[in-house]
Structure 1
Amino acid sequence: MTPMLISRPAVHVVPELSGERCDSCGAAAKLVVTFGTGELAFCGHHANKFADRIAATADKVSVESGFAWRN
């Protein structure tokens, strides 16, 4: 079996994500994910709920300073 390299998305800590709202529930966003086709914003709950999927598919992740993303 050939080993497969798994690339991680680039993670950037930003001071705040003012004005961003979670695309799942509308709460204040703590994380913004950039994909090749666009962006999605997530509150803390949804960012942690989908952490594995985000890490596997994102190109870039912007995390609000002070938020402990489980990934």
Structure 2
Amino acid sequence: MTFPYADSEPPAPERMDSADGWLYGDVTATTTEPLTAADRCDRCGAQAYVRVVLPVGELLFCAHHAREHAPKFAELATHVHDETDRLLEEHGAGAMR
């Protein structure tokens, strides 16, 4: 996936693609290996849909815990790989409540 802006800077709000996910306003997106059913949330063990890359490692989160912890990891993350849009595809609109 290519982005119309530098990898080191987030896009201007008017240039953000809504398909990028809910989190891309604060950190830079990057392409990484897709998350699978084997990837589990580091907080609760549910299926992970968000990978947060930190300067010293990475964390995996389910959508719920990604939203809960986003304010803190957005300050620290070097990259965020967000696949929460898959929830709608896989489980329908009720999964995002």
TM-score range, shorter chain: 0.7 to 0.9
Taking structure 2 as the reference length, the TM-score comes to: 0.54
Unaligned runs of 5+ in 2: 1-9, 11-25, 88-97
Instruction: Give the total of aligned pairs.
Output: 62
Higher helix share: 2
CA distance in 2, matches of 1:35, 1:57: 6
Task: Say which SS state the counterpart of residue 59 (structure 2) adopts.
Answer: strand
Runs of 4+ residues deviating >3 angstroms: 12-16
Higher strand share: 1
Unaligned runs of 5+ in 1: 1-6
Q: Shift in Å at residue 42 of structure 1?
A: 0.3
Taking structure 1 as the reference length, the TM-score comes to: 0.72
- Sequence identity (%): 35
RMSD: 2.5
Which structure is richer in relative contact order (CA contacts within 8 A, separation 6 or more)?
A: 1
